[in-house]
Amino acid sequence: MKIFKFLVLLLVLSNCAFAQQPYVLLISFDGFRWDYPNRGITPNIEKMREDGVSASSLRPTFPSKTFPNHYAIISGMYNDHHGIIANFFENPFTKEIYRLGDSLAVTNSKWYLGEPFWTTAERQGVISASYFWPGSEQKLSYRHPTYFEKYDHFRPHNTSVDGVIKWLRLPREKRPHFITLYFHDTDDKGHHFGPRSEEINNAIMSLDSVIGYLYQRFDDIGMRDSVNVILVSDHGMTEIDTNRTIHIDKILNGFDYKMGGTRPVMTIKPAKKNDFDEIFKTLKKNEFHYKVYKKENLPEFYHYKDDPFIYPIILVADLGWSLVNQKFFNEMADSGDKGNHGYDNNQIDMHGIFIAAGPAFKNGYKTGTVWNIDIYPLLCKIFNIYPRSNIDGRLERIEFILKAMDN
């Protein structure tokens, strides 16, 4: 009899624990620039802003690229601390390559130095899930969420939303309380057609309809008032064209070197140490619509010199200009792209969105720019769990957007 009562008590306590855990859905609209919600074509996002919290913009990390910033959001760390320094980079010691689209690389946990929030949460009793998020498919079992979907670029949006709803309808003891969701549309259209095109407006409206469908599905399962929805983007977008290009291969003609990255940010590693000073002087002498730095002298506000994989010379293009060699110039011309990102993260064109609504957030509250690295400690606060001690994010920069919590 005593054993039976003890088991009943454990069951009650377990149910109470699950009931007390909040629900958070973190959504990323890739490349959704800070001002896209101001075009009068996003009624569902506007409803979120009216009901919750909206920031004037979300400041990305440098460089303002997709994988580095998604991992900055989920780990609370700058790119040179969490390990994903670019969408494509080399380990100069082993010659191994990290590259988007390479499933072996993006699922290999050795590249990811920061701890993603889902790992922090799972370690402290919060079941997590990911419907696409960079880093969520890591092969090590303790580095990915309990539930995750492998990335499918062509999966219908409503199917993704329905997948989230399916998780929320699982039995309480199996149900995730933290979920991520990702959509690519505005990044694709922004690159191909530019941030002022009709095509980008169509993509904006399409993603706004996703928010409408999401809340409709919340109504279907009776959870509209239970889920905290945080809508973010990894970066913004700016206009580019082939007339604004700097041919680094022509400037460094005759030198032997390795090049990392192109267009907004380029890094250079001289093949011979004796050539370092001459290469740097040559780049400095030709400095026009870009800035060149020795890695150790890169301004602190970039937070981009602590990772050993970053090459020792760093070039940062002016907004809208592109650093190229002939190969990448030809690719740029062939693609006809009219938009890009990756530039100085203090440029407003590189900023994304931050909108949050739900029981944890203030209502109708507007604030200025918030930093994406602060989202990780914000999530820890919402779930009342301990963050990692080595994060760069600071709760005090963002905590004020939450409703007062009972002690």
Instruction: Report yes or no on whether pTM surpasses 0.75.
Output: yes
| 66 has catalytic annotation | yes
Examine the domain organization and report whether 149 and 62 are in the same domain.
yes
Domain containing 397 equals 20-238+345-401
Q: How confident is the model at residue 19 (pLDDT cuts 50, 70, 90)?
A: low
Examine the domain organization and report whether 43 and 144 are in the same domain.
yes
Examine the domain organization and report whether 233 and 278 are in the same domain.
no
Catalytic residue among 66, 107, 186, 262: 66
Tell me whether residue 11 is in a domain.
Answer: no
Which pLDDT score, from 0 to 100, does residue 28 have? Answer: 98
Examine the domain organization and report whether 207 and 265 are in the same domain.
no
Which pLDDT score, from 0 to 100, does residue 8 have? Answer: 39
Tell me whether residue 9 is in a domain.
Answer: no
Per-residue pLDDT, averaged over 279-286, amounts to 98
Considering only 35-39, 247-251, 305-309, 328-332, which range has the smallest mean pLDDT? 328-332
User: How confident is the model over 75-101, as pLDDT tens digits?
Assistant: 999 999 999 999 999 999 999 999 988
Task: Among 286, 311, 336, identify where a domain stops.
Answer: 336
Tell me whether residue 382 is in a domain.
Answer: yes
Pick left, alpha or beta for residue 363 (phi over 0 → left; psi -120 to 50 → alpha; otherwise beta).
beta
Examine the domain organization and report whether 59 and 74 are in the same domain.
yes
Which pLDDT score, from 0 to 100, does residue 380 have? Answer: 98
Task: Among 312, 336, 360, identify where a domain stops.
Answer: 336
Examine the domain organization and report whether 234 and 380 are in the same domain.
yes
CATH of the domain at 318: 3.30.1360.180
Choice between 277 and 4, residue whose per-residue pLDDT is larger: 277
Tell me whether residue 79 is in a domain.
Answer: yes
Number of domains in the chain: 2
Task: Among 300, 315, 336, identify where a domain stops.
Answer: 336
Tell me whether residue 209 is in a domain.
Answer: yes
Examine the domain organization and report whether 86 and 173 are in the same domain.
yes
CATH of the domain at 133: 3.40.720.10
Examine the domain organization and report whether 254 and 148 are in the same domain.
no
Tell me whether residue 1 is in a domain.
Answer: no
Examine the domain organization and report whether 185 and 267 are in the same domain.
no
Examine the domain organization and report whether 55 and 112 are in the same domain.
yes
Which pLDDT score, from 0 to 100, does residue 15 have? Answer: 46
User: How confident is the model over 348-399, as pLDDT tens digits?
Assistant: 999 999 999 999 999 999 999 999 999 999 999 999 999 999 999 999 999 9
Examine the domain organization and report whether 88 and 30 are in the same domain.
yes
Examine the domain organization and report whether 30 and 90 are in the same domain.
yes
Per-residue pLDDT, averaged over 190-202, amounts to 98
User: How confident is the model over 128-161, as pLDDT tens digits?
Assistant: 999 999 999 999 988 999 999 999 999 999 999 9
Tell me whether residue 186 is in a domain.
Answer: yes
